[in-house]
Amino acid sequence: MTTLTREENIRYSRHLALREFGLENQLKLKQAKVLVVGAGGLGSPALFYLAAAGIGTLGIADGDTVDLSNLQRQILFTVDDIGHNKAEMARARLSRLNPGIALHPYPTTLTSANALNVLKDYDVVIDGTDNFPTRYLLNDACVLLGKPLVYGSILRFEGHVSVFNLQQEDGQRSANYRDLFPEPPDPSAVPNCEEAGVLGILPGMVGAMQATEAIKIITGLGEPLAEKLAILDALSMNITTIRYHPQRDRYSITALIDYEDFCGLNQHKNKSLTFNEREIMKEITVQELKQLMDSGADFQLIDVREPHEYEAANLDGELIPQGDIPSSVDKISRDKQVVIHCRSGARSGNMVQWLEKNHKFENLYNLKGGILAWAREIDPEMHVS
């Protein structure tokens, strides 16, 4: 029979003092297994609060490494963690917060090949990711495995939270992510946090809400956000709740698929560096760029980041921020190779595709991995914000 130790009775005494919570629900937390996918902006606060609350087993899935720019909002990490895997660093930090719980890091990216195996032993899954392929992957895996999924997303000053695939009193599962978003958006139509920015405190608020939903699911307390989407506006501090319903005649989930292809990302990947295949974006690696620089080749290097990013670190390229590109087309050469870069390759890739489509450029190359890859692989002394 599961019980609380003397130390746990002290640690969780504020929970035990809650008449509506008490020992019974604290024991439910101790027996629960929760997987948090993404240990970044959303995952950090969710993991902190779930570990502190006494979730018996916490899984942490993240294949990314800590970057200096993460520290504005990813509160699990410090400067000492930069360059190290997020899942492993999260385990180390959380084990000091609560050594009485089991922590299982998965320092890898979840894919259709491994997701079902990773998720199968957990009671609740929390989505702390920031891209559409992984969101659809987690949703479909949870549907196939019969697991509830706590969704969260953030952008600029707005956050979203909902609960998908929760078992209802009649035994049926509540609506899932595909009922709310049946089709993924065009990859070029939705900016990410790197491009649009995000208020650093916002993921803390949304991640804490996700942790709250997970605890409600585990204990049965309150009313989870099943078939409801909570929209938080941090500027007004208003929370708007909208309802949605299953639309299962619009889709069928029978197996995991290629989610990058489903979300339209594969069509943007570079498969051939020929000038005749303009629908396929041409890319250049940081090693190839260094060779161009060292050889004295005549080419144009354009940086589409913002001025404050350029001031922090740059490759001596010509600064034309992304928003100024449409009015600066005449500054871009057509008679020699042009390499366009940003922080990670996302913004510059969008600009390469936009210029090719709208202005018929055929000499543009996106710097793969952006200045982050340069700092990582060419100049480790460079600090990129």
Six token digits for residue 217:
């699911």
Helices (H) and strands (E) in the chain, counts: 15, 13
Among this protein's residues, is 342 annotated catalytic? yes
Residues 66/155, Cβ–Cβ less than 8 Å: no
Assess whether 263 carries a catalytic annotation: no
Question: With contact defined as beta carbons under 8 Å apart, do 129 and 167 qualify?
Answer: no
Tell me if 230 sits within 8 A of 241, measured CB to CB. yes
- Among 95, 89, 11, smallest CA distance to 57 is for 95
**Using alpha carbons only, what angle is made at residue 231 by residues 157 and 122, rounded to the nearest 5 degrees?**
105
Q: Are 182 and 258 in contact (CB under 8 A)?
A: no
Angle value at C-alpha 103, between 101 and 105, nearest 5 degrees: 175
Cβ atoms 2, 24 nearer than 8 A: no
**Which residue in the list 342, 371, 373, 384 is annotated as catalytic?**
342
Number of neighbours of residue 373 by Cβ within 10 angstroms: 20
Is residue 263 within 8 Å of residue 136, measured between CB atoms? yes
Identify whether the C-beta of residue 72 lies closer than 8 Å to the C-beta of residue 200.
yes
Helices 202-219, 43-53: axis angle to 10 degrees equals 40
Residue that has been written with the tokens 């956000």 in this structure: 225
Catalytic residue from among 144, 145, 193, 378: 193
CA dist., res. 155 & res. 169, Å (int): 34
- Classify residue 51 by burial, with Cβ atoms within 10 Å: 0-12, 13-18, 19+: buried
φ, ψ of residue 101 to 5 degrees: the values are -110, 160
How far is the C-alpha of 116 from the C-alpha of 105, rounded, in Å? 16
Alpha carbons 371 and 257: distance in angstroms, whole number: 32
- Which has the closest alpha carbon to 304: 336, 276, 331, 264? 331
Q: Which residue numbers are catalytic?
A: 193, 342
